[in-house]
Amino acid sequence: MHYKLLNAQRKIYLTEAPGTLGGYRPNRIYGRLDCPSALRHLASGQYAKHRVFFADEATAIAAGFRPCGVCMKARHELWTADPGAWLAAVLSDHRA
């Protein structure tokens, strides 16, 4: 089984490990795999072809995606208020 993930250059690549985050390509939003908003859109049938996956959050950010306002509310609020502070917060999480 191979999984299609998106890399930092927004190119699809195949890997044997599933992604940890989902994304919606047209709006460049990333979020949890079980995001209620994403699942609702998937159920409507219009979302699946635009769905992408990331190995981790750092890759999603490097690819230019921003956090989902539904499943990553705290991140989204930080991002809305101050994108620079948001980036610093995410990067310090990854160092921890």
Which residue among 5, 61, 63, 68 contacts Zn ion (CB under 5 A)?
A: 68
Q: Are 24 and 66 a contacting pair, CB within 8 Å? A: no
- Smallest separation, CB 73 to Zn ion (Å): 9
Pick 5 or 14: Cβ nearer Zn ion? 5
**DSSP string over 47-66:** SGGGEEEESSHHHHHHTT-E
Q: How far apart are CA 80 and CA 3, in angstroms?
A: 31
| 60 binding Zn ion? (CB under 5 A) | no
Residue 55 interacting with Zn ion (CB under 5 A): no
What residues between 13 and 42 interact with Zn ion by CB under 5 A? 31, 35, 37
